[in-house]
Amino acid sequence: MEIANGFEASSIEKAIQFLAAGEVVAFPTETVYGLGADALNPYAVAKIFEAKNRPHFDPLIVHISEKDWVFRYAEHVPSSALKLVEIFWPGPLTVILQRKAIIPDIVTAGLPTVAMRMPSHVVALQLINAFRKPIAAPSANPFGYMSPTKAGHVARMLKGRIPMLLDGGDSVFGIESTIVSFQEGGVYIHRHGAISEEELSEHVEITADREQDALCRSPGELPYHYAPAKPLKIIHSMDEIKTDNSSFLAFRAPERPSISRHMKILSEAGDLKEAAANFFSSLIELDREDIDIIYAERVPEVGIGRAIMERLRKASKKRSLLHGR
């Protein structure tokens, strides 16, 4: 795998050559690293699924570099979608819209909808701009594993599986985009992410009701996801830590030493944004230690804390599903 400095024009040039040849390229975004391919080339997109071992029923997000491109790929863009796009793009908001036929089935897993976002990371924008075509990209991790927030994570996770990686530094949000769809009753949040429910609700009505029609079906919303290889247990207090042969993912600086052999603190002062930025990288490091279990302290479920807890719950579910509990 060639690892290149994404801020250099020659690296973007090289990446575009790979994309044009139907290859995949890993690139930085402000949320997490993505694994991109030409969104309009089904053979190229198939290579994403191959490199990640991702099941084909899990649709991809189409990344664009100009707001106007939504009209190229989506039909009937509701006014609330336009409003959110005006406010939050470029940035970590993904909108689900009715798709146009030009988007290949493999991108949307056959759904009548397409998920789109315009990232704000300068390397991502330059890449898409220079390519002049949309780039389909999931997070650049093997399926079910945690999302990479550093170029080094991608290099380790997808070693030997992809030809090129653009290094654009650490992802500033550290957690994936917020995914929304537009329903009769308001905006429905499919995945909590880097833009909080509170921020969205300043501009649109949020609904908890999800219409059960084909438009909002989301086969990718699996009950387990984002999971470390080691079992993970969410705890309220350090008293629940039963073994020193463990890793402890603390939300804030603990009041007393933990018995866990390894510990990461998401934010000394308990700041949720800082915690989100450190979330995946801390969990990835703790998972690499030779331990039996990861204990994760719960975080307050407000703002971006909801996104953190959504990921922790899915990470903890994997084990119970595997063990049939």
Q: Does 114 bind ligand TXA (CB under 6 A)?
A: yes
Q: Is 128 helix (H, G, I), strand (E, B) or coil?
A: helix
When CB distances are held under 5 to 8 angstroms depending on the partner's kind, the choice from ligand TXA, Mg ion, none that residue 315 binds is none
Q: Which residue, 41 or 94, has its beta carbon nearer to Mg ion?
A: 94
Helix H segments across the chain?
Answer: 9-20, 42-52, 70-73, 79-88, 105-108, 122-131, 151-157, 197-201, 272-288, 305-322
Q: Does 171 bind Mg ion (CB under 5 A)?
A: no
Q: Within the chain, what is the greatest distance between any pair of CA atoms?
A: 58
Q: Which residue, 139 or 282, has its beta carbon nearer to Mg ion?
A: 139
Peptide bond into 59 cis (omega under 30): no
DSSP code at position 141 = S
Q: Does 171 bind ligand TXA (CB under 6 A)?
A: no
What token pair was written down for 12? 């973007």
Query: Which residues, 193 to 252, sit near ligand TXA by CB under 6 A?
Result: 218, 220-221
Q: Is 163 helix (H, G, I), strand (E, B) or coil?
A: coil
Query: Which residues, 100 to 139, sit near Mg ion by CB under 5 A?
Result: 139
Q: Which residue, 45 or 265, has its beta carbon nearer to ligand TXA?
A: 45
Closest-approach residue to ligand TXA (CB):
220
Q: Which of 139, 183, 247, 282: binder of ligand TXA (CB under 6 A)? A: 139
Closest approach, Cβ 58 to Mg ion, in A, equals 9
- Kindly report the backbone phi and psi dihedral angles of residue 122, in degrees, each rounded to the nearest multiple of 5, phi listed first: -60, -35
On whether the CB atoms of residues 230 and 287 are closer than 8 A, the answer is yes
Q: Does 316 bind ligand TXA (CB under 6 A)?
A: no
Q: What crossing angle do the helices spanning 305-322 and 272-288 adopt, rounded to 10°?
A: 30
- Cα torsion 210, 211, 215, 218: sign: positive
Q: Which residue, 32 or 189, has its beta carbon nearer to ligand TXA?
A: 32
Q: Does 179 bind ligand TXA (CB under 6 A)?
A: yes
d(CA 299, CA 280): 14
d(CA 283, CA 31): 16
Closest approach, Cβ 28 to Mg ion, in A, equals 15
On whether the CB atoms of residues 116 and 135 are closer than 8 A, the answer is no
Q: Does 94 bind ligand TXA (CB under 6 A)?
A: yes
Q: Does 93 bind ligand TXA (CB under 6 A)?
A: no
Decide the pairing of beta strands 206-207 and 186-191.
parallel
When CB distances are held under 5 to 8 angstroms depending on the partner's kind, the choice from Mg ion, ligand TXA, none that residue 250 binds is none
User: Using CB under 6 A as the criterion, which residues of the chain lie in contact with ligand TXA when the complex forms?
Assistant: 29, 31-32, 34, 58-61, 92, 94, 96, 108, 111, 113-115, 137-139, 176-177, 179, 190, 218, 220-221
User: Using CB under 5 A as the criterion, which residues of the chain lie in contact with Mg ion when the complex forms?
Assistant: 139
